[in-house]
Amino acid sequence: MNLILFGAPGAGKGTQALELAKSYQIPHISTGDMFRQAMAKHTPMGEEAAKYINKGHLVPDDVTIGIVKERLSNSDCQNGFILDGFPRTIFQAESLEILLQELNKKLDYVIQIDVAQDALIQRLTGRRMCKRCGASYHIIHRPSKVEGICDECGSELYIRKDDNLESVQVRLETYLLQTKPLIEYYQKKGCLVTVDGNQDIKKVFADIQCKLGDKK
């Protein structure tokens, strides 16, 4: 199954993608996670991306499309993939369409996780991320069992540099201007399904599974 998880920053894409990846045994491809890994290793691409990410701006399309192209060509995507955080611009969506054609793949669903704006700010400013596996926690809504430690892999949790109020506001504005138009784009293509992301994590996951039906 070839999926895109779509939604504003903080909608719960990463949280749901992790569960879906386990359940459907397909890779979770997060452009944000890939950029953060490159930043941690101080690769030239990571250094370039950091200039944009730390301010809450989008990384230029050519860089982003390049890493997705490489990742989707990997053999572990043969039985499907979950894209999280890509595409984020119309140009990225159009490039993805061409790329999938080249790879002889077809998009099954774009799952939009719809969350109210005020909840997004609260989620992002209370988020804690795992350094190693990228799992995300929340100080109120999803605390880890042991404070500061990931339930999944035992690594340390940290606060993302771009999860401060100032960057969050820029990211939400960027979402409205550059990313939200993709809803109409995918609606027209007939592959958009929407779930109410204001519900608790388990209920959102159940709703997504319901929308995907028996398809594997």
- Catalytic residue set: 13, 88, 127, 160, 171
Instruction: Return the number of other C-beta atoms located less than 10 Å from residue 45's C-beta.
Output: 16
Give residue 204's Cα distance to chain centre: 15
Q: Is the peptide bond before 87 cis (omega within 30 degrees of 0)?
A: yes
Q: Is 6 in the site for ligand ADP (CB under 6 A)?
A: no
Distance CA(172)–CA(170), nearest Å, equals 6
Does position 127 bind ligand ADP by CB under 6 A? yes
Site map 176..215 versus ligand ADP, x via CB under 6 A: ---------------------x--xx--x-----------
Question: Two tokens at 89?
Answer: 């611009």
Binding piece for ligand ADP, criterion CB under 6 A, among 38-46, 74-82, 84-92, 148-156: 84-92
- For residue 134, give the nearest of 63, 212, 32 by alpha carbon: 32
**Which residues of this chain interact with ligand ADP, rule CB under 6 A?**
7, 9-15, 30-32, 35, 52-53, 56-59, 64, 85-88, 92, 123, 126-127, 136-138, 141-142, 162, 171, 197, 200-201, 204
